[in-house]
């Protein structure tokens, strides 16, 4: 049995996991938001950056990608992703929709409200101003946003929140 992983942020444009298939997938009732602090990738504990988490929102949909991990690679992939997403994210099972396979039961990493690095909502301008001055061991926070925006555009995926923040940063 393989494992399906749903990515909605950096996992879309830098999966770095040994997948054997990948499809566009939609999480209905969820939206991605820059509401999570980053102490370890796009910021530091003293000056956290802002990265994405999934937030439940009625009427919204989040388009991302699901990746199929072969059984032989599941435990190493989970160890890798647990480490990569360790700053407040938790594993969660989510049912996502694909054109090719219908509903897929996928594992995703969500940073829930009130985790140690949670930042929460702010205006688009405040979020962009925060991202513009942030960077960490994985690079600048602006690159994190623009890499995702480029990947979504390449896939013809519309996301108003991402587009708004990217426009303010460009």
Among all residues, which ones are annotated catalytic? 85
Two tokens, residue 98: 């694909």
Which range in 1-9, 116-124, 134-142, 154-162 contacts ligand SIN by CB under 6 A?
1-9
From the CB of residue 84, how many other CB atoms can be counted at a distance below 10 Å?
18
By CB under 6 A, residue 51 contacts ligand SIN: yes
Two tokens, residue 86: 């360790």
Residue (of 139, 16, 113) closest to 131 by Cα position? 139
**Count of residues engaged in binding ligand SIN, rule: CB under 6 A:** 9
Which range in 5-13, 98-106, 134-142, 152-160 contacts ligand SIN by CB under 6 A?
5-13
CB 42 within 8 A of CB 50: yes
By CB under 6 A, residue 138 contacts ligand SIN: no
Give dist(CA 136, CA 14) in Å, integer: 16
Site residues for ligand SIN, 6-25, by CB under 6 A, read 7-11
Binding stretches for ligand SIN (CB under 6 A) = 7-11, 51-52, 85, 109
């Amino acid at each position: 049995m393989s494992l399906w992983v749903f990515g909605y942020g950096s996992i879309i444009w830098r999966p770095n996991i040994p997948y054997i298939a990948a499809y566009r997938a939609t999480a209905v009732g969820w939206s991605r938001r820059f509401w999570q602090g980053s102490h370890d990738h796009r910021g530091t504990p003293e000056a956290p950056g802002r990265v994405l988490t999934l937030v439940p929102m009625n009427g919204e949909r989040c388009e991302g990608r699901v990746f199929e991990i072969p059984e032989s690679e599941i435990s190493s992939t989970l160890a890798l992703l647990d480490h990569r997403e360790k700053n407040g994210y938790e594993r969660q099972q989510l049912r996502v929709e694909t054109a090719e396979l219908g509903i897929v039961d996928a594992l995703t990493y969500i940073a829930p409200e009130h985790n140690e690095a949670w930042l929460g909502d702010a205006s688009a301008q405040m979020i962009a101003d925060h991202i513009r001055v942030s960077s960490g061991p994985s690079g600048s926070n602006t690159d994190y946003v623009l890499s995702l925006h480029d990947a979504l555009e390449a896939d013809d995926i519309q996301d108003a929140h991402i587009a708004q923040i990217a426009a303010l940063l460009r």
